[in-house]
């Protein structure tokens, strides 16, 4: 291939060494290869890959689309890349999480893209975690959360989840974040337990 490029392209630079000529000849192919290899990183990203590449991530996490369909009760829903992505993130965290409160909060934020997660435990209901999750949930994800448990938690512990697409309890500037309560209508985040 390099021979063909050298044969077809006239060299007009005087006093070019043979090594410089070879590097100059293969530079476009190297640039194309660099661009291709640079794009491979995005193919293994949970949030941006789709289709077959998402299935390959499923092999790493040990959750096929068929298994995800059995987990959420609908094989057709598991064919949707966004739903399968949520299932993969859940499975990845279940495989690696020690279920400390900080890890549960972080996992919930990453799995659902939550803007706010409030974690609490109450003395009157032992072995129960209460989570209030504010996230841009799609209708399909909301329907799955209503019927299936995709919240990372310790074994034997119940989770009571309150899902919202708005941060209705927290004060914020509505012009910057439309999912918060306006001035005088919401509590400051530090006062919410």
* Mean pLDDT lowest among 101-105, 109-113, 166-170: 166-170
14-71 pLDDT, tens digit per residue, is 565 666 767 767 777 778 777 767 766 666 677 888 888 888 889 988 999 999 988 8
Helix pair 51-61, 81-96: axis angle to 10 deg: 20
Please enumerate in sequence order all residues whose Cβ is within 8 A of that of 44, keeping only pairs 6 or more positions apart, or say none.
53, 56, 57
- Average pLDDT value for residue range 116-122: 87
Could you report the per-residue pLDDT of 132-162, keeping only the tens digit for each? 888 877 777 877 776 677 888 888 888 888 8
User: Does the pLDDT value for residue 90 go beyond 50?
Assistant: yes
pLDDT tens for 56-68 read 889 988 999 999 9
| Per-residue pLDDT band at 9 (split at 50, 70, 90) | low
- Which of 155, 191, 187 minimizes the C-alpha distance to 172? 187
List 117's β-bridge partners, or say none: 133
Q: For the chain, give every domain's residue range.
A: 2-43, 46-96, 98-193
């Amino acid at each position: 291939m390099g021979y063909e490029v050298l044969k077809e392209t006239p060299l007009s630079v005087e006093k070019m060494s043979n090594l410089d000529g070879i590097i100059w000849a293969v530079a476009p192919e190297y640039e194309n290869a660099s661009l291709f290899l640079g794009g491979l990183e995005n193919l293994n990203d949970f949030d941006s890959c789709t289709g077959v590449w998402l299935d390959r991530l499923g092999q790493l996490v040990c959750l096929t689309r068929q298994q995800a369909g059995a987990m959420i009760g609908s094989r057709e829903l598991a064919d949707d890349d966004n739903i399968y992505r949520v299932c993969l993130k859940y499975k990845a965290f279940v495989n690696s999480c020690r279920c400390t409160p900080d890890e549960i909060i972080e996992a919930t934020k990453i799995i659902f893209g939550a803007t706010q997660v409030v974690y609490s435990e109450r003395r009157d209901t032992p072995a129960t975690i209460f989570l209030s999750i504010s996230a841009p949930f799609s209708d399909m994800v909301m329907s799955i959360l209503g019927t299936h448990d995709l919240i990372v938690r310790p074994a034997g512990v119940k989770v009571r989840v309150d899902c919202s697409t708005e941060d209705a309890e927290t004060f914020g500037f509505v012009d910057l974040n439309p999912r918060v309560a306006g001035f005088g209508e919401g509590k400051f985040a530090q006062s919410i337990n």
